[in-house]
Amino acid sequence: MESLRSKKYKQEFVSTFPGDDSGNLTPRQTPGKLYSKAIPTPVEKVSLLAWSDELAEELGIQKPADQQELDILGGNLVTDTMYPYAACYAGHQFGSWAGQLGDGRAITLGEWETTAGKTYELQLKGAGPTAYSRRADGRAVLRSSVREYLMSEAMHYLGVPTTRALSLVATGEPVLRDMFYNGNAAYEPGAIVMRVAPSFLRFGNFEMLNARKETENLTNLVNWTIDRYYPHLQGEDRVLDWFKEIVERTARLMVEWQRVGFVHGVMNTDNMSVLGLTIDYGPYSFVDDYDPDFTPNTTDLPGRRYAFGKQPGIAYWNLGCLAAALLPLVAKDKLLPALESYKELYWQKYYQMMGNKLGLDKTTNEDTTLVTQFEETLATIKPDMTIFFQLLIDLPLCMENAEAVAEHFKDSLYNDLTPEQSEQLYSLITSYLQRLNRNTITRAASQALMRKTNPRFVLRNYLLHQAIEELERGDNTLFRKLQQAIKEPYSTKYDEFFQTRPEWASQKAGCSMLSCSS
């Protein structure tokens, strides 16, 4: 185990690519540069709110033992071997080209190499302005920082590819935020998260270089990314093969989001990882009542571009933007088939995942009809997604009538079923039980598969909101409990949280809808 202060950090990204080394934090365009040096802006007082022991153990990082090491987590201390920088990238936001964006409130301190030879970027979110902050202050509030810290770790334990979070610190300084961009700005407690990932490279890093016609930089970044993160790809077609693998990883990521009911909320191309990770936790939510049109992001209204049911299609659209950025390196007639392969890959993985959620021995073409019936019925009756699939695990193998079915699933319902809805649910369950009877695996094996696939605990927005409100009052009881619960999402250990969203949370700001500043 090594300390954050004594570690010799690697600087492979900044030593490989051209950057702006001036340290100037004035917002500006940086053509020809892949990053700009950004020294974190000191804060009043860094105090530790949370530390991920498991991630620290994996990386070989000692928990801070004194104030100096804590200061690293808040940007008050930069060691001699660190080179803090903000990356330059662009992106399509809500379907429109946004031009240069970049790390506006994220600063990478350096690259941490583990004893196993793996390298991870350590990045502070909320440590002050950078050259890409535009009109913002580069800070983060406790509200958004708690959400990022807990959710990135929660997704890890759910088995969803994700960036991680090592620490959460308070800054001792207030930050002015207009939560819903409606003119009601207020001061909130400041905080900083240390994020961890092998790389934070996004589709937008490559879009930026193509848009500026910096073909040499684009070529170098693509080759460096492949050498570093896809070293198994060799040969003259390796750029095409790399894109194919990004397509596959992105399809897999979308299936995992749909499996657990996660809605990212802002799937811009600058929020899409070339490693297939969930990246940038903002106005996200888990689905409570099952609704393919649900979006937690106020900025996404009324079009609902990034709604739950649209996420797989948006990923395909975003991959098209990445393919366009690679046109100087790979011919269009090669890229297009690779892009189109996403659809088959996604549906193959999706139906396999749904078969696992339903406890099927295998997923056949006939089973796709059953999956569609589940989707249509759930979209009609809108039960709690997490609780419904948990109740499905222990479904009796004989259900005599619609009333018995409705009774079994009553704890997942937000509203009483109409007679038509009750009959629709009964028809679905009848079809499902008939399919279970054809299973070639035992009932116990089927249920075990369902328990591994369907989470019992998910980090709901109302729980996060309650924990944040308590933390702002100086009480960390619920926060600590959630920090433990996220580590065992498939167990019954935290069944105190196994309930539908309370009625009061359906309209409360921060519980049902959030903004990009969340």
CA separation for the pair 21, 242 (Å, rounded)? 31
Q: Which DSSP string do the residues of 213-224 spell out, in sequence order? A: T-HHHHHHHHHH
User: In Å, what is the CA distance from 212 to each residue of 33, 90, 220?
Assistant: 11, 10, 15
From the centroid of its chain, how far is CA 219?
Answer: 28
CA separation for the pair 278, 380 (Å, rounded)? 29
**Helices in 98-237 by DSSP H: which ranges?**
142-158, 203-211, 215-229
The dihedrals phi and psi of 62, each to the nearest 5 degrees, come to: -75, 145
CA separation for the pair 250, 244 (Å, rounded)? 10
Question: Of 391, 386, 421, nearest to 288 (Cα)?
Answer: 386
CA separation for the pair 296, 49 (Å, rounded)? 26
**Helices in 99-201 by DSSP H: which ranges?**
142-158
Q: Token pair for residue 475?
A: 């009480």
Q: Token pair for residue 237?
A: 């077609």
Active-site option among 71, 103, 270, 288: 270
Total number of residues shown for the chain: 518
CA separation for the pair 480, 484 (Å, rounded)? 7
Q: Token pair for residue 5?
A: 């202060």
Handedness of CA 204, 206, 207, 213 (dihedral sign): positive
Residues 6 or more apart whose CB falls under 8 angstroms from that of 496 comprise none
- What's the angle, vertex CA 282, arms to CA 382 and CA 502, rounded to 5? 35
From the centroid of its chain, how far is CA 516?
Answer: 14
CA separation for the pair 265, 300 (Å, rounded)? 8
Reply yes or no on whether 495 is catalytic.
no
- Residue 141 pairs in a beta bridge with 190
CA separation for the pair 240, 323 (Å, rounded)? 10
Give catalytic residues, as residue numbers. Answer: 270
